[in-house]
Amino acid sequence: MYNRLYKLTLIHPAFEELYEKFEKSFGLNQQEQSAVTGGIKSIVFPPILISKLPNDVRDICNEFNFNFNNNHPLAAMLLLRRLLPLCIVRKFQKLGKENDIKDGDDYLETKNLLGKIENYLKEKKVYRELLNYKILTDSSQHSYTFFPELSDVQGAALKIRLILEDLFV
């Protein structure tokens, strides 16, 4: 029940009041709450940003927020891995320049997509930092011994958030 109510607070801020009533009714104390959420209660992708994104990108951001706040770093990292190329493809589609990011019928690899989007970013530093985080997100998919921490996920997510803001706001 807790996870369902918590997810609702991410989707719509008005559910925060409902969540507080739930806490009072069922006596969920700080220690229990910390155990469930990993001690983190923040939204990496805020609703104001999410509202300006294409629907499929919006869905991934909401799912990321839920997984991040419920202490599921691997799931959150895998969502970031999917979010990065998808947001670039959607931006080029919006610009009517989808052919610029294709090689035949397929889209370019994520690293090459990043190269194409560099000119659309306000801060070139974000692009360079994101290349480093791309290695981290790829490791979450391909390395069986890698288990990301929430701090790893948060760093990558904040860089992707900056890209989303540059591209869609």
Domain ranges for the chain? 73-168
3-state secondary structure of 41: coil
142's tokens: 């391909």
pTM, 2 dp = 0.67
The predicted-structure confidence for 61-91, as pLDDT tens digits, reads as follows 999 999 999 989 888 888 988 998 899 899 9
| Residue 125 pLDDT | 73
Query: Whole-angstrom Cα distance, residue 4 to residue 167?
Result: 31
For the chain, what is the largest distance between any 2 Cα atoms, rounded to a whole number of angstroms? 58
Give me the pLDDT at residue 31, please: 44
**Identity of the residue numbered 48:** I
Averages of pLDDT over each 10 residues, the chain, 169 residues: 46 57 54 45 83 94 93 88 90 89 86 81 72 62 66 84 86
